Chain A
Amino acid sequence: MLKLTGIRRSYRIGPVTTEILRGVDLEVHAGDLMSIMGPSGSGKTTLMNIVGLLDRPTSGACILDGRDVSGLRDDELSALRNRHIGFVFQSFHLLPQLTALENVCLPLVYRGAGRPEMRRHAQAILERVGMAERTGHRPDQLSGGQKQRVAIARALVGEPALLLADEPTGALDADTAGEVMALLRQLNAERGITILIITHDPSVAGQCARQTRIRDGRLFEPKAAAADGA
């Protein structure tokens, strides 16, 4: 469903051009649960931004559902993000002024859903992530793990094919991180949602069926499923 070939991304700061990604090849199949590990600054977030259609590679092709996205206009990319991609961030990125339910509704707002329909969907997905009791809470009234559940609900409410999680457990303690990972794995197993998790944590990576590492601007996928630690 997603195919990256020869992705390069370089940043120019003044006269110096630094190439962060140097030819990343990656094929993600529907239903994959996949981790990307790598040292800080290795370009994991850069890669995720490209996969998430927030950024354009300097060169290389990104093919989503058989469609090359490199030539698309900004509006078309927005629409693709809205329909096909869900984001989960390390720092949750919930809008502080909105309730949990309203936060979850956001992707549907930009899809043009009607209000009652939007709220019904959001309510259902919040129930699924175990947040049925706190739909009216604002983010500052929720714990870290609860916030991340709401964020996951928001990423899923539009029924995207691909869920991108950039260090989803990075701001959580070990127990809460375990719960969030369990939730992601269930969603992957039950609903067949394709999930790409960026992490520093080998135990998180260890729960993923496919594990990759990024090093020197390239992506490696050790054939052995067993991770040997960071």
Chain B
Amino acid sequence: MSRTFSVLSANAREAAESLRRARLRTVLGLVGVMIGISSVIAMVSLGEIAREQARKQFEALGTDIVVVRKAVGSGAKAIDLPNALQVAAAVPSITEAAPRISGRGTFRFAGRKVGGGAVQGVTRSFASVNRLTLQEGRFISDLDADRYWCVVGAGVAEAMRGAGADRLAGSLLEVDEVLFTVVGVLDGKEESYALPVQVNANKSIFVPITTAQRIAPDPGVEVIIARSGAGVHYEAAVADIRSYFRRRAPDLGLDIVTAKELVARMEAQMGIFTLLLGAVGSISLIVGGIGIMNIMLVSVAERRAEIAIRRALGARQRDIRSQFLIESVILTIIGGMLGIALGLAATWTICRFTDWDFLISGLSVASGLGTAAAVGLFFGFQPAHQASRLDPIAGLQGK
């Protein structure tokens, strides 16, 4: 057996024993490292979970989505419906565009109130752009212009059934004293909050956009939700839309947001967030490390006689150094393991409250352990070095 291995394994055994004996001091020393590691773990995991969560939302929605609005303070009154309707045809980088004119109303069925919400004037493409699917009937079509026909969201449909409707398609829905014939019923749809446009399909009804133009208080196009073609960079799509509208409506200012841009912006924010949280964790680690260093210095001072005896029996300086280094690394790794448990517990709790999907990030656990060991090595080095340089004669004489 090699001498180094023999000495190291003996050192490890004795270090564990020595830490077990100095119980209170050990625990106090662990607290700092534990908190440091746990904050790093919680922070890194939360960052990863939040990013994953946002990514899932965008994935359901598609990252090719582009939202066009009239800019606040723009000279023009609104986006013109004819211009809006031609976006998909006229702008090559846009494959689909769904303009919307919005109003609100109270819905009644058979004289009973069945809810109230958005009355969204849309075209055929609105369903595909927003991934809306039907459980019954059909969606608004381009041949429905000016008709008082509507497609109801799942929530509204539920309420109508509750009010006694057995077949929804063909039944009449009264919207602020105007009668609409139901032509379709949407499936339930979870709202995505990642984008700056709300569809809120479940509690809304959808009517032909030209109909909405007549009954809505503001007949201008409120928003165009579009999708860019495959492989189109979001900046190109934005530029194309702008130049299209510049030709048609020169004094119209536009506010265009793309999902890809949001993803990029959010990822940058997450990066900063993670970095910031990491910094906070590092500060607690430094504080914890200094605590460890202090404990080790006390331990070295208390064990001067022991060090001297070991030196007299043939321990080399590096044997003494490794003994104390192993001790501080064991200390910080134990602290690190407790910190990982604590950090994951905190992450899990936060996930429960925010309804996020908890996941254990292997990277954060591994880096937590690695960091703990590194803290032990770094802050243990000076005390261990000091121990190795003690004068054995002074130690033996108890000076």
**CB within 8 Å of B: which residues of A?**
45, 49, 52, 54-55, 74-75, 78-79, 81-83, 87, 89, 93, 95, 97-98, 106-107, 109-115, 154, 158
In the bound complex, CA of A78 to CA of B310 (Å): 10
B7: contacting residue among A79, A110, A114, CB under 8 A: A110
Chain A residues with CB below 8 A from B21, complex form = 97
- Contact in complex: B1, A87 (CB < 8 Å): no
B314: contacting residue among A49, A79, A93, A98, CB under 8 A: A79
Chain B residues with CB below 8 A from A89, complex form = 396
Chain A residues with CB below 8 A from B14, complex form = 97-98
CB within 8 Å for A93 and B316 given contacts A55-B393, A114-B1: no
- Contact in complex: B6, A74 (CB < 8 Å): no
CB within 8 Å for A95 and B314 given contacts A109-B6, A112-B3, A114-B6: no
In the bound complex, CA of A115 to CA of B17 (Å): 17
- Contact in complex: A95, B6 (CB < 8 Å): no
- Contact in complex: A75, B316 (CB < 8 Å): yes
Smallest beta-carbon distance B371→chain A, Å? 30
Smallest beta-carbon distance B170→chain A, Å? 89
Return the chain B residue nearest A49 by Cβ: B393
- Contact in complex: B317, A112 (CB < 8 Å): no
Smallest beta-carbon distance A197→chain B, Å? 17
Chain B interface residue count, Cβ-Cβ cutoff 8 angstroms: 30
A-B contact pairs, 26 of them (CB 8 A): A45-B397, A49-B393, A54-B311, A74-B317, A78-B316, A82-B313, A83-B314, A87-B312, A97-B18, A97-B21, A107-B313, A107-B314, A109-B10, A110-B7, A110-B313, A110-B315, A110-B316, A112-B1, A112-B2, A112-B3, A112-B4, A112-B5, A112-B7, A113-B6, A114-B6, A154-B313
- Contact in complex: B314, A81 (CB < 8 Å): yes
Q: Decide yes or no whether B158 CB sits under 8 A from chain A.
A: no
CB within 8 Å for A54 and B392 given contacts A93-B305, A110-B319, A112-B4: yes
Chain A residues with CB below 8 A from B397, complex form = 45
Chain B residues with CB below 8 A from A78, complex form = 311, 314-317
Tally the A-B contacts, defined by beta carbons under 8 Å. Answer: 74
In the bound complex, CA of A75 to CA of B315 (Å): 9
Smallest beta-carbon distance B302→chain A, Å? 11
- Contact in complex: B1, A82 (CB < 8 Å): no
Chain A residues with CB below 8 A from B318, complex form = 75
A95: contacting residue among B7, B306, B317, B392, CB under 8 A: B306
- Contact in complex: B313, A81 (CB < 8 Å): yes
Chain A residues with CB below 8 A from B314, complex form = 78-79, 81-83, 107, 110-111, 158
- Contact in complex: B309, A93 (CB < 8 Å): yes
- Contact in complex: A87, B313 (CB < 8 Å): yes
- Contact in complex: B6, A81 (CB < 8 Å): no
Smallest beta-carbon distance A101→chain B, Å? 13
Chain A residues with CB below 8 A from B2, complex form = 112
Chain A residues with CB below 8 A from B310, complex form = 106, 110
Interface residues of B in 366-397 (CB under 8 A from A): 392-393, 396-397
In the bound complex, CA of A112 to CA of B14 (Å): 16
In the bound complex, CA of A98 to CA of B396 (Å): 18
In the bound complex, CA of A54 to CA of B392 (Å): 7
